[in-house]
Every structure is written in structure tokens, then in C-alpha cells.
Amino acid sequence: MKNLILAALLTFSPVTGMQDSLATAAATAVSMDAAQQDLFAEAHEIEAAIKAQAQAPVLSEPFEVVITFYVPSRRNGSLTASGVYATEGTIAADASVPFETQYYIPGLTYVKSDGIFTVQDRGSAVYGNVVDVFLPVANPTDPATKAALQVGRFKTIAYRVLTGEEAALQRANQKAVAGLTEEALSTAWHQGASIARDSTLPEPLPAPDALPLPIPIDQNTAADLNLTPSLQVQRRSKNS
């Protein structure tokens, strides 16, 4: 509205000097409006990032895991060692890892889009940092199964999803970081400076360093899937 008023004054004022002054004022007003809009937009972006971080799973420090894959067994189907039936997101882990522990594995979003997997199974070849990922569909034409067959056994980065006191402590640390960010925003606002993205925001999760290795071979799986031995997904029963 104020820009329209200034434009009208420019149109009807007979005084050249006043026109020049009004033109300068109008340009300054437009520039200030644009700067203010940019400031609000960037502040909202950072606020949204902070809120998203607050709602995201609380993660441990990253650690390396070795990924293998398995499909439903002929004898027990998808029944797991924990007594539940495996679904998308089921994984087998070392016996020292409690059932229902959750891992965030960013390198496996082609298997499960959010990358969150739950420990519900065991396996004779699953020990140490080996994580065996359940593939619900044994058919090699399934997109996730096909991708798993192509990658095979590999190393990547995982995070444990924290709960209880561990999660509370991590949340407190995140709030402290958010407080520093808000203080930086306030300082930039009062100084009238453009807001750069605050360096205290959490860094993006690192990309997995996949190192393809030969995948375990199972004769039953070879017969079922009619694949060459180099492209087998191991099949395990509940007790294997």
C-alpha cells in the first residue's frame, strides 16, 4: 500500500525535486521490504529445521556394520527368533543386541524408505557387527530384492535409535544447540544483517561407504530363485 501511495505522489507532484526525493524513498522502501521478507523466510527455514530435528529419532554416534540379506525360509517362512513374523524393516543382529532395538541405516533406504530397522531375529552367521536384513519378497525382480542382489554383502554406517535416559540427554544437547541458534538469529535481526545458515545446526548424515563383497550362498535359495551362485541371498530358518 505504501508503495502505491508513493507511486501516486510521483505521478501528480509538479515539483521535480520532490519527485526525486520520493523516487529515492520508494526505492529504499522496496529494498527494505525485500530484505525483511528474505530475513523472515530464512528465519522460518531455520525454525523449521530445528523443529524437524526435535521430531526426528534421537541417534547414537555412528558405527560400522556389515550388511547381509536373507529371505523367508522354506521351513518357517518369515517367523523370527523373537517369535514375531518378519516384515519390511526386520533385521537379525548379534545375540548381545536386545530384541526391538532399532537401527537407523541411511544406506538401506532402498529397502525401507525411512531407514529405520528393528532387531527381531538371530542367525548362525550373524555375530559381532553383522546385520542381516530381511527381504520380504524373494523374487529377484522385486526392486528392493534386485538392489540387494546387486550390492551383495557390504559395509556401511548405522546409528542406534536412543531411548529413555540416553534419548533425554541427547535431546537436552539438541535444545542447547537450538538455543545458540536462536541467539544467533536474534543478534542478526537486531543488526539488520542477512541471516546465514547457522553452523551449529547438526550436520547431514554421512553417505554410506559401501564396499561390495561376495554374498553368502545357500543351495535352497539357489534352487528356489533359479539364480547363479554369485547372486544368492542367504536363507535362514528360525533356529539357524
For residues 45-64, average pLDDT: 78
User: Backbone phi, then psi, for 124, in 5-degree steps?
Assistant: -65, -25
What pLDDT band is residue 213 in, cutting at 50, 70 and 90? very low
Beta-carbon contacts of 24 under 8 Å, excluding residues fewer than 6 positions away, are none
Higher pLDDT, 19 or 143: 143
**pLDDT tens track for 70-97:** 999 888 889 999 999 999 999 999 999 9
pLDDT at 230: 40
pLDDT reading at 57 higher than 60: yes
pLDDT reading at 197 higher than 60: no
* Rounded Cα gap, residues 107 and 63, in angstroms: 13
For residues 226-232, average pLDDT: 43
| Cα dihedral across residues 219, 224, 225, 227: positive or negative | positive
Higher pLDDT, 169 or 157: 157
Of 41-45, 69-73, 130-134, 189-193, give the range with the top mean pLDDT: 130-134
User: Which of 47, 234, 48, 13 lies closest to 134 in space, CA to CA?
Assistant: 234
Q: How far is CA 99 from CA 63, 106, 146, 209, 217, in A?
A: 19, 20, 28, 27, 26
User: Backbone phi, then psi, for 179, in 5-degree steps?
Assistant: -65, -40
pLDDT reading at 157 higher than 60: yes
Mean pLDDT, the chain, as a whole number? 75
What pLDDT band is residue 131 in, cutting at 50, 70 and 90? very high
pLDDT at 14: 52
pLDDT at 140: 86
Beta-carbon contacts of 142 under 8 Å, excluding residues fewer than 6 positions away, are 135
Beta strands 116-121 and 90-92, pairing class: parallel
Angle in degrees, CA 209, 154, 143, rounded to 5: 100
Q: Is 225:235 a contact under the CB 8 Å cutoff? A: no
Using CA atoms of 131, 137, 138, 140 in order, give the dihedral in degrees to the nearest 10. -100
Angle in degrees, CA 49, 44, 159, rounded to 5: 0
| The three three-digit cell numbers of residue 59, written as one number | 541417534
User: Which of 220, 219, 217 lies closest to 232 in space, CA to CA?
Assistant: 217
Instruction: Give the lowest-confidence range in 27-31, 145-149, 223-227.
Output: 223-227
| The three three-digit cell numbers of residue 25, written as one number | 524513498
* Rounded Cα gap, residues 150 and 231, in angstroms: 7
3-state secondary structure of 227: coil
- How many Cβ atoms are within 10 Å of 76's Cβ, its own excluded? 16
